[in-house]
Amino acid sequence: MTQALLNTVGTTTLESALKGLRCKECGQEYPLKAMHVCEDVCFGPLEVVYDYDVLRKTVSRETIEAGPNSIWRYRAFLPVETENYIDVGTGMTPLLEANRLARRLGLKKLYIKNDAVNMPTLSFKDRVVSVALSRARELEFSTVSCASTGNLANSTAAIAAHAGLDCCVFIPSDLEAGKVLGTVIYSPTVMGVKGNYDQVNRLCSEVANTHGWGFVNINLRPYYSEGSKTLGYEVAEQLGWELPDHIVAPLASGSLFGKIRKGFEEFVKVGLVEDKKVRYSGAQAEGCSPISKAFKEGRDFITPVKPNTIAKSIAIGNPADGVYALEQARATNGNIDDVTDPEIIEGIKLLAETEGIFTETAGGTTIAVLKKLVEAGKISPDETTVVYITGNGLKTQESVQGEVSQPHLIEPKLASFEEALERARTLERLEWKQTSV
Ligand SMILES: *Cc1c(COP(=O)(O)O)cnc(C)c1O
Ligand SMILES: [Zn+2]
């Protein structure tokens, strides 16, 4: 067959790579409907399956590079059936060489995958929502919804607005002001539930059953979660079609963690990158660390907790994919650790000062755990390490408000400025002396 003919065959057979849903536990297969648990057999979670032979024939580095500058360059690996997907510019966020942070920590090759600047709502959740709402539209839902710790509500409301879908989101009533404003501005219906995320989630499961809405992270969860694979694909592509040695990512439900791996492994399967034994390490806040506790205690089950931490976006006390995250860290010689709220704040400031990135509490958690793992010798300086920054600091300003310096208040006069500058320099010299001993 000529190359031209192969290409035509390629584009017309793309759809058939999408096979169906399959239970992660017992393997029972299901059609590509709005469902997320193995209703016929074991109530295990469902996952999207693809025909990798089809993908191997139709996808190459070149076809991907020729695609849009968004997650949709990986469309062949995503669970949509039509070309009518919602592209709001999500994905292809920077992969930065973090040399100053690396030097501070004692690493040689450290990269930051910076989803603090993801589009349209400045968190990694735009990836999963772009995919989930594209699929929701194909499944003909007119109302979309979610149970959120904050960022998911922002993404769902924004992308639903863009796509013209009715939207009703559920959040815990005690979220940060920036997360609430970043939802209501798009004029969805917002329910502030007097309870924690796990209670919100339980309520939403009932609503999903009674109202027939498309909940991105409940009945659409198999499609939604596939969006996180793009955090694997992009890193591989941005590293020059290579896998890293070690990744560090935050854990809430544990979904994103597993999907980074699925992304890497799919690229290996279809021959886009060479295989490598990637190590996967996960980060939690001490005030909500059910996965980390189980990891450190050598347990293979998760004991749910009641969250109490400033890292609200990753505060899930009963994580749906917790057991899979545990297995993944253990099987790959990775680690899972947790850090205190003061360490999270230090993590936010460290990333800001060394790399010019203002992340939210989830990112502070990830940086603080990275630091802890390096200090404990659990990440070697020689490993090419990628740390995932998943959210933006402007949304959780109250967490650092009292922890930063204030502007020098001066008169609009040169003398006043000179005086203040002298005072500032003296203060800096003092601080520098203190931190360098
Ligand atoms: C939701 C979220 C996560 C983690 O997501 P899971 O896939 O549930 O583990 C990480 N970081 C931020 C900022 C989030 O909003
Ligand atoms: Zn099953």
Q: Where are the domains of the chain?
A: 95-121+227-399, 411-437
Task: Indicate which residue's Cα is closest to atom 5 of ligand 1.
Answer: 252
Give the position, in ligand 1's atom list, of the atom nearest the Cα of 254.
Answer: 9
Q: Report how far ligand 2's centroid is from the alpha carbon of 39 (Å).
A: 7
Nearest CA to 256 among 113, 119, 109?
A: 113
pLDDT for res 242: 98
The CATH code that applies to domain 95-121+227-399 is 3.40.50.1100
pLDDT for res 2: 36
d(CA 278, CA 245): 5
d(CA 238, CA 7): 25
Tens of pLDDT, residues 248-273: 999 999 999 999 999 999 999 999 99
Cβ-Cβ contacts under 8 Å for 143 (sequence gap 6 or more) = 165, 166, 167, 168, 211, 213, 214
Tens of pLDDT, residues 53-102: 999 999 999 999 999 999 999 999 999 999 999 999 999 999 999 999 99
Tens of pLDDT, residues 294-320: 999 999 999 999 999 999 999 999 999
Q: Indicate which ligand has the atom closest to the C-alpha of 30.
A: 2
Q: Is the CB of 253 under 6 A from ligand 1?
A: yes
Q: Which residues are registered as beta bridge partners of 110? A: 385
Task: State both tokens at 39.
Answer: 């209703």
Task: Indicate which residue's Cα is closest to atom 4 of ligand 1.
Answer: 252
Tens of pLDDT, residues 362-415: 999 999 999 999 999 999 999 999 999 999 999 999 999 999 999 999 999 999
What is the residue-averaged pLDDT of the chain? 95
Question: What's the pTM?
Answer: 0.95
**Which pLDDT band, with edges at 50, 70 and 90, does 435 fall under?**
low
Q: Which of 256, 357, 367 to mutate to test the pocket of ligand 1 (most atoms within 8 A of CB)?
A: 256
Nearest CA to 251 among 333, 180, 309?
A: 309
Cβ-Cβ contacts under 8 Å for 97 (sequence gap 6 or more) = 109, 110, 111
Percent of the chain with pLDDT over 70: 95
Q: Mean of the pLDDT values across residues 121-136? A: 98
